[in-house]
């Protein structure tokens, strides 16, 4: 069964919600993950008045905007420029630098041909450094970030499950808001890993718990994605009518928001085909192709 490339969107949303309590600069407020160029502009404006670790943290986020724009070489150039200052920096600056060095090699935005042995090794080492620095500084949110990024290095379903189970255990053991803010995305990741393993009832449970957390946070887009994951799993379980009703509702919600989700169209094609309605299946196949066209 084909899965949507949901991870990047969901995990970026999680990262945007996480700001360690020790941070003097709030990078969360400056991020717009849908617009990395705008985010870079905001970080540069904040950087003009920043000093010390605040300046280092902001610079790491500028590097991240380049990774998101699929220019990892530019990201690494930015990160290398501040390497000499890291020896005397605090745990957050060191952890964030290592995280972005890792993401510039392997992340949800990495193309298949870029997943070379060298890139995988560099990312693994960087995420291990990030985890060590975050733990040393008591920064649970960044430690969870580092662990969850390991699932982009080790992508087999069993490894995906292992890393996200570890991240969930860290969330449950922490009292820090920065750690708790990760739960919806990590449960989403767990659901996806279990779905890949064919463990659909367990996947559905995690997706439902993720939805409840998304609803508390109140982001309409994240809520719609959470509903999609549930409906996707309902189709896998053979609950075709429930899944169809959910995807049709999502189609209407995206339309009301002035947008469209091609993955909703893709699911509707599959659902109507499962019901033997080839006319509607072809209709949604056309909509899916049109929505994905550049």
Give tens-digit pLDDT for 99-148.
999 999 999 999 999 999 999 999 999 999 999 999 999 999 999 999 99
Kindly list the distances between the CA atom of residue 14 and the CA atoms of 178, 208, 267, in Å, as whole numbers in the listed order.
Answer: 10, 17, 25
pLDDT tens, residue by residue, 223-279: 999 999 999 999 999 999 999 999 999 999 999 999 999 999 999 999 999 999 999
* CA separation for the pair 17, 14 (Å, rounded): 5
* CA separation for the pair 16, 33 (Å, rounded): 8
pTM: 0.89
Kindly list the distances between the CA atom of residue 202 and the CA atoms of 192, 206, 209, in Å, as whole numbers in the listed order.
Answer: 10, 7, 11
CA Rg, the chain, in Å? 20
pLDDT tens, residue by residue, 120-130: 999 999 999 99
Percent pLDDT > 70 in the chain is 92
Q: What's the length of the chain?
A: 294
Q: What angle do CA 70, 179, 250 make, to 5 degrees?
A: 60
Long-range CB contacts for residues 73-78, cutoff 8 Å, separation at least 24: 75/100, 75/103, 75/104, 76/101, 76/104
* CA separation for the pair 241, 262 (Å, rounded): 20
CB atoms within 10 A of CB 32: 13
Q: Is 165 buried (19+), middle (13-18) or exposed (0-12) by CB count in 10 A?
A: middle
* CA separation for the pair 62, 54 (Å, rounded): 13
Residue 288 has pLDDT above 70, yes or no: yes
23 pLDDT band, cuts 50/70/90, is low
The distance from CA 267 to its chain's CA centroid, rounded to whole angstroms, is 21
Res 21: pLDDT: 39
* CA separation for the pair 88, 25 (Å, rounded): 18
């Amino acid at each position: 069964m084909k899965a949507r490339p949901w991870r990047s969107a969901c995990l970026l949303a999680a990262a945007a919600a996480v700001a360690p309590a020790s941070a003097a600069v709030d990078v969360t407020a400056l991020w717009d993950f849908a617009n990395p160029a705008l985010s870079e502009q905001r970080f540069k404006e904040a950087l003009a008045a920043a000093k010390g670790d605040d300046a280092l943290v902001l610079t790491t986020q500028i590097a991240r905007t380049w990774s998101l724009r699929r220019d990892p070489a530019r990201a690494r150039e930015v990160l290398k420029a501040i390497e000499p200052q890291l020896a005397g920096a605090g745990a957050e600056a060191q952890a964030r630098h290592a995280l972005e060095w890792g993401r510039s090699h392997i992340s949800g935005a990495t193309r298949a041909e870029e997943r070379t042995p060298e890139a995988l090794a560099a990312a693994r080492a960087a995420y291990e450094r990030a985890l060590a620095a975050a733990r040393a500084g008591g920064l649970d949110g960044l430690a969870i970030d580092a662990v969850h990024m390991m699932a982009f290095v080790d992508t087999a379903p069993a490894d995906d499950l292992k890393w996200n189970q570890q991240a969930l255990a860290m969330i449950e053991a922490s009292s820090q808001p920065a750690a708790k803010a990760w739960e919806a995305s990590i449960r989403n990741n767990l659901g996806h890993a279990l779905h890949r393993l064919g463990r659909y009832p367990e996947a559905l449970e995690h997706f439902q718990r993720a939805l409840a957390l998304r609803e508390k946070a109140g982001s309409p887009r994240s809520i719609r994605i959470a509903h999609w994951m549930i409906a996707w799993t309902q189709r896998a379980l053979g609950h075709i009518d429930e899944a169809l009703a959910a995807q049709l509702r999502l189609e209407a919600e995206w339309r009301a928001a002035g947008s469209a989700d091609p993955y909703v169209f893709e699911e509707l094609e599959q659902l109507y085909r499962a019901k033997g309605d080839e006319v509607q299946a072809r209709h949604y196949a056309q909509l899916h192709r049109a929505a994905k066209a550049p």
